[in-house]
Structure 1
Amino acid sequence: MLSSRGSKFLSSGSQLLASGSMQKSGASARPMHVMASKDGSGQKKGRQGTGTSVMWFRNDLRVSDNEALLRAWQTSSAVLPVYCLDPRVFSTTHVFQFPKTGELRAQFILESVADLRKNLQRRGLDLVIRVGHPEEIVPSLAEAVGAHTVFGHKETCSEETTVEGRLKGRLAKVNVPSEVPGKSVRHPQLDLVWGGTLYHIDDLPFSPNQLPDVYTQFRKACETNSRIRPACKMPHQMGPLPDSVEKIGGCGPLPTLADVGLTPREQSPSGVMHFAGGETAALARLQDYFWVKDKVRAYKETRNGMLGADYSTKFSPWLAHGCITPRTIGEELKKYEGERVANQSTYWVLFELLWRDYFRFLSIKYGNSIFHLGGPRNVKGKSWGQDKLLFEAWRDGKTGYPLIDANMKELAQTGFMSNRGRQIVCSFLVRDMGLDWRLGAEWFETCLLDYDPCSNYGNWTYGAGVGNDPREDRYFSIPKQAQTYDADGEYVAHWLPQLRHLPKTARHFPKDAYLRPIVPLRHGQAPRNQPNSGRQPAFRRN
């Protein structure tokens, strides 16, 4: 079995970073094939280029604050935006062979792609959509339109960087007419731009390989020594498309779930809110949460809630797919602080956004170890179970602990779970059930609308005690968590309506009125019911 993240996706020799040094005051390495922006904002004034460029969209499904798109426009006289729906993203997870992308996230992605096309059309462009492998499709399109450069955003995890490397190799074999005197042909270049973080990688006070292993140290160093770049200001009009669009078969229809073998399924109306994919919905949520409902002023006090639309920002699904950037949120927050109030709550939004940065930079430092059982520290000697009965009870929300079961049902039916809920169900799987943390991480990968590999596996390694942070035992006591965050049992009654008739004080430990707990709790008050003791065969390793 390959040591890399996904054997179906990766060649055995793939690595996170190409060989070669990274240049930046003391710093960090970027693969040799990436031509990175070196100015302060990534922007130039006006359109200065000629010829055709290709803009390759992946996890950056937006027009606003899109430096790769801006540079594609600046350096050409025509831009061909391209999105490839890659079937590998809809295959299976690496260890336990769960569906890699569930129906709800797949639908969110397709909605985001449809919205991106509309927003590009408003600016005089369109979106070429194809189903297949980007490293095959993009070079073919670049050759057909005679593109001098393919622009995109740099990713950090192995599956994505492997595609980047393959694409670069294929482009090197493509010949297009050259505009350089004395040269009849040239190869299209791959220009991958850093984006999607609050702090730009070139502005960190250390290289990613020297990233502190404790978040607080990272945060304080960034806040003291770095600055957040302004969001890119995009032109109102970015056309035209190349004249040769019809030559490549037009832009193509919007894909459907059937194109990747999935059946449509709607988010449950019982969820905290309906998450519609796309930049338009992301910006609407930003406006609603900050300005219309004015909820950000109390974010720090409400962020550990579990029920309702506005206990937290709910930006995460749009951030994960690049429908909005942390910088856009940061700039709106700065405006809010100037016009309304600056307090601990407004700061805490940035605090949480910086956690996303941290996990992304950690994926550069630690590479594929974030996907391995021992985690970044290569922890050994722990006993990790793979009991099928226990995992399925956790997955299906049938553990006998209402707080766990309610959270897992919310995840399955909506693709979302609160941050507090994620910590609780992670602790229960790892500490109380004694199961392999990768079972939980891969099931989250299947279900979450806001899945991205860096944050998901970063959080799971952290919660499982195998992360880069040396603190190992993070136990979340269910009785304590229930009393603190759902004292009246409203959350569990919402997702487990059979508990609604019980007294509020009995909803979390309903005894004979609910399922028998499947395992005893490691700490805290245990229910009177005795746990089941039956076991099923462990998951087969691949």
Structure 2
Amino acid sequence: MNSLLWFRNDLRLHDNEALNIALEQAETLLPVYIFDPRQFGLTREAGFPKTGPYRLRFLLDSLADLRARLREKGSDLIILKGKPEELIPDLCRKLEIGLVSYHEEATFEETQVEDALDDALEALGVEVDSAWGATLYHVDDLPMDIEKLPDVFTAFRKKAEKFSDVRELFDTPESLPPLPKGAPEPGDFPDADFFGLAPDAPSHRAVLPFEGGETAALKRLETYFWEQDLLKKYKETRNGMLGADYSSKFSPWLANGTLSPRFIYFEVKRYEKERKKNDSTYWLIFELIWRDYFRFIALKHGRKLFWSTGIKGKRYDWNRDQAEFRKWANAETGIPMIDANMRELNETGFMSNRGRQNVASFLAKSLNIDWRWGAEYFESMLIDYDVCSNWGNWAYNSGVGNDPRDRYFNIVGQGKRYDANGDYIRHWLPELQGVPDEFIHEPHRMSVPQQRSAGIEIGNDYPFPMINLEQSYREIEKRGD
């Protein structure tokens, strides 16, 4: 049988169920990746490029690596442009493909494409065998139906840990069948005109160079777990913001599927057996379960995930002041904890988890700006953009998602706790280099002589705060009454 494998957000050969399905009866194999123009348009609410320059560069790196790995095993990667639900059936007709396999997604736009493709292939008599491969726990192994998934994470986690097992890994094939006779040329990647922008590499000040691809993903895991032995203190360092190794940084490779969550899980288990088992080894798995949860929440709630009212159906009178939003997006708020994180995002496509929570709380809570604008900005900018985790986390931090307590962050307090000496702030806001530690989180509190001594003029070299944070917290509490 001739098989077609449609790569999506599963750009790896290790632990790839769709690949293994395609190989079961395959005499020939056609691996395909399709650049769908709908993924490179503009976001719905705010009109940002859906795939910005950093994520685009990471994607192209990942595909180049995937093609190289396929070629090593006797195959290749066919690159096409267009709609998968049209191109794949056309290939099946021309090449007498009998089986199409792919990994399923969870959110509306992607599942609409899947449904249209399945219908078209059924009409041709082509077998479709899709797989679920993005999560640690398989969706079929959950101890509850998706419709009964708890809307509080802890309730889900406790049941999943008690009643669900992680499935074994799929083997990486030693070799692959040839391409079918008459297969199209492998093809080049589209140019900047197709994407509407050019790919870009992160600033040299980034925590990591973030090279895309399965090869780099497996190397990062090897380095973090085994060479530098950093897993043993993950829980203690994971809330850091500066440097390469305060956290695993696996998220970009997880997002486009160049690294399997199950592979991480079994490497943790091997580490526990060969090195050390402690709270940190558990906590990395805990974070993978959080990632699972947001994907399952997307399955349960569908399009509600993208509504301003969120899965809670909670209505806020959102502010839609574009000038205020631009100050947030351009790192011009006058609040160093926010501006440093946003500058890192704008220059690298990455931001720490601690930073993400703070900038989201500031936008949606302190500024009361429509949280979907922030989610779309992250969609455009983040190299580790994952539709379920991104929108789930933004809704959570905005009071319309899975947080039962509807909290907000004290931004200055967070800065003093997680960047006490201001090292992170000075790294990304060098204009504050001379500001003493006692003022680094609130430089506007310096007197004029103190500003001169620090070599800065607030209002000129760095802006005054755009709002009074303490007043914003009082207003947040009033809105919650």
Letter of the 1:70 partner, please give it: N
Judge conservation of contact 1:125–1:240 (CA < 8 Å) in 2. yes
1:251 corresponds, among 186, 191, 194, to 186
TM-score normalized by the length of structure 1: 0.83
Q: CA deviation at 1:330?
A: 0.5
Using the alignment, how far apart are the partners of 1:469 and 1:482 within structure 2? 22
The aligned counterpart of 1:61 is 11
The aligned counterpart of 2:363 is 429
The aligned counterpart of 1:376 is 311
The aligned counterpart of 2:452 is none
1:158 aligns with 2:108: yes
* 1:216-265 per-position Cα deviation (integer Å, ceiling 9, x unaligned): 111110111111111111220122221232xxx32212344443221232
TM-score normalized by the length of structure 2: 0.93
Judge conservation of contact 1:110–1:256 (CA < 8 Å) in 2. no
* 1:463-507 per-position Cα deviation (integer Å, ceiling 9, x unaligned): 0010144322x1111221011000101101100101111212222
* 1:57-103 per-position Cα deviation (integer Å, ceiling 9, x unaligned): 01101111000001101122111100001111110111111111101
Judge conservation of contact 1:80–1:241 (CA < 8 Å) in 2. yes
Q: Which moved more, 1:289-298 or 1:164-173?
A: 164-173
The aligned counterpart of 1:419 is 353
SS of 2:100's partner is strand
Judge conservation of contact 1:432–1:522 (CA < 8 Å) in 2. no
The aligned counterpart of 1:202 is 140
2:250 corresponds, among 277, 294, 315, to 315
* 1:395-416 per-position Cα deviation (integer Å, ceiling 9, x unaligned): 0000000110010010011000
Using the alignment, how far apart are the partners of 1:332 and 1:282 within structure 2? 13
Using the alignment, how far apart are the partners of 1:297 and 1:223 within structure 2? 21
Using the alignment, how far apart are the partners of 1:397 and 1:469 within structure 2? 27
Letter of the 1:229 partner, please give it: R
Question: What 5-or-longer segments of structure 1 have no aligned partner?
Answer: 1-50, 175-186, 527-542
Using the alignment, how far apart are the partners of 1:102 and 1:235 within structure 2? 33
The aligned counterpart of 1:534 is none
* 1:335-360 per-position Cα deviation (integer Å, ceiling 9, x unaligned): 11111001000100000000010000
1:231 aligns with 2:169: yes
Judge conservation of contact 1:410–1:417 (CA < 8 Å) in 2. yes
* 1:179-228 per-position Cα deviation (integer Å, ceiling 9, x unaligned): xxxxxxxx112221111100011110001111011111111101111111
Using the alignment, how far apart are the partners of 2:322 and 2:351 within structure 1? 23
1:168 aligns with 2:118: yes
Q: CA deviation at 1:523?
A: 6.0
Say what the alpha-carbon RMSD is for the aligned residues.
1.4
Q: What does 1:482-501 align with in structure 2 at a 5 Å threshold?
A: 482-501=415-434
* Cα distance change on mapping 1:135 and 1:192 into 2, 3 Å: same
Using the alignment, how far apart are the partners of 1:524 and 1:369 within structure 2? 28
* 1:289-320 per-position Cα deviation (integer Å, ceiling 9, x unaligned): 00111111000000000000000000000000
Using the alignment, how far apart are the partners of 2:324 and 2:279 within structure 1? 41
* Cα distance change on mapping 1:84 and 1:421 into 2, 3 Å: same
Using the alignment, how far apart are the partners of 2:279 and 2:39 within structure 1? 39
Letter of the 1:411 partner, please give it: L
Q: CA deviation at 1:522?
A: 3.6
The aligned counterpart of 1:397 is 331
SS of 1:244's partner is coil
Using the alignment, how far apart are the partners of 2:468 and 2:207 within structure 1? 30
Letter of the 2:326 partner, please give it: E
The aligned counterpart of 2:448 is none
Judge conservation of contact 2:320–2:369 (CA < 8 Å) in 1. yes
Q: What does 1:109-508 align with in structure 2 at a 5 Å threshold?
A: 109-174=59-124, 187-245=125-183, 249-380=184-315, 382-472=316-406, 474-508=407-441
Q: What does 1:12-23 align with in structure 2 at a 5 Å threshold?
A: none
Using the alignment, how far apart are the partners of 2:471 and 2:289 within structure 1? 32
Letter of the 1:334 partner, please give it: K
Letter of the 1:434 partner, please give it: N
Judge conservation of contact 2:366–2:472 (CA < 8 Å) in 1. no
Using the alignment, how far apart are the partners of 1:384 and 1:343 within structure 2? 43
SS of 2:340's partner is helix
Using the alignment, how far apart are the partners of 1:307 and 1:155 within structure 2? 33
Q: CA deviation at 1:172?
A: 3.2
Using the alignment, how far apart are the partners of 2:169 and 2:260 within structure 1? 8
Letter of the 1:335 partner, please give it: R
Using the alignment, how far apart are the partners of 1:119 and 1:88 within structure 2? 27
| Greater helix fraction, Structure 1 or Structure 2 | 2
Using the alignment, how far apart are the partners of 1:475 and 1:307 within structure 2? 23
The aligned counterpart of 2:477 is none
Judge conservation of contact 2:37–2:81 (CA < 8 Å) in 1. yes
Letter of the 1:406 partner, please give it: A
SS of 1:476's partner is coil
* 1:375-410 per-position Cα deviation (integer Å, ceiling 9, x unaligned): 001112x22101111100000000000110010010
Question: What 5-or-longer segments of structure 2 have no aligned partner?
Answer: 445-456, 475-481
Q: CA deviation at 1:167?
A: 1.1
The aligned counterpart of 1:35 is none
SS of 1:172's partner is helix
2:41 corresponds, among 91, 97, 115, to 91
Judge conservation of contact 1:437–1:464 (CA < 8 Å) in 2. yes
1:76 corresponds, among 5, 21, 26, to 26
The aligned counterpart of 1:515 is 463
Using the alignment, how far apart are the partners of 1:306 and 1:256 within structure 2? 34
